[in-house]
Amino acid sequence: MELETDGTRAGTDGTHAGAGRPTGDGRVVVVGSANVDVVVDVPRHPHGGETVLGGELRRAPGGKGANQAVASALAGGAVTAFVGALGDDDGARLLRASLDRAGVGTDAVRTVPGASGTALITVSPGGENAIVVAPGANGRVVVDDAERRLLAEADVVLAQLEIPVGTVVAAARARRRGVLFVLNAAPSRELPDELWREIDVLVVNEHEAADLAGAGSDAAPDGLAASLLTRVSAVVVTLGGDGCLVARRGEEPVRLAGRRVDVVDTTGAGDTFCGVLAAELARGTDLVAAARVAGTAGALAVTRPGAQDAVPGRDQVLAALDASAG
């Protein structure tokens, strides 16, 4: 699939999908992690050696891969399947139920002995989060014959880095010629050359971009993107509430402004962005226009607590876009 450059946006022909109803135009396969999020609100994040008294504990479905799959299906309206692994515990039932409610295909979700992935999350009053992940079953995600057949049917393959890098490489190599491979390089880690060669669109936040570019934390997004474009043909640098930067090799970068919203919890915002970006690209939307839709979905997600629970419906995303255009 080529990255279109006509600036069109899916959904302007009146065929808006409702929440959880895929439009059928675009197939996304997400390969990644699924975690049970164990969340507590705190007055501030603790420093090393410090104890902070928090609020009530809550459990919710999460994990970067599962979050992105739910976002692709619900907010993106794409036919979406998930390749992942769950344990044989109570957490697996919570995670599978959330995927099923969103309409995500789970035929390639394996059950393995032991615990499902778990994320320990603290959320400050401003909505900022700090996360520690215990991978659990996510360390056993594989791409075998069944997964390869599924990946061969995709328009876009989307992956992250909460699963073994070798599995990510295998997923990228399993796609058909012309199918886009989008990598959300999070959490930050060094990428092998064999993975760099597979990436069509790289999605990173400023910290991840600086790590991959070998730059300081004060480096400007334009400079980070320019550095990364020596390795990949297209980069999206997300900037939190300030929007994102879309950069393509040989073109001037495009800065998209963020939407001003009341922030409740930022936990799933980046994942919502990635899932919707993949869904838009799967239906042939231009990268800049796809990022605009994804940014709107991500902004809506931070107005509610949780990750998958905060993903907006497709109707909500398109209504917000139409309102801003008016």
Residues acting as catalytic residues? 271
* 3-class SS letters over the chain: CCCCCCCCCCCCCCCCCCCCCCCCCCEEEEECCCEEEEEEECCCCCCCCCCCCCCCEEEEEECHHHHHHHHHHHCCCCEEEEEEEECCCHHHHHHHHHHHHHCCECCCEEECCCCCEEEEEEECCCCCEEEEEECHHHHHCCCCHHHHHHHCCCCEEEECCCCCHHHHHHHHHHCCCCCEEEEECCCCCCCCHHHHCCCCEEEEEHHHHHHHHCCCCCCCHHHHHHHHCCCCCEEEEECHHHCEEEEECCCCCEEECCCCCCCCCCCCHHHHHHHHHHHHHHCCCCHHHHHHHHHHHHHHHCCCCCCHHHCCCHHHHHHHHHHHHC
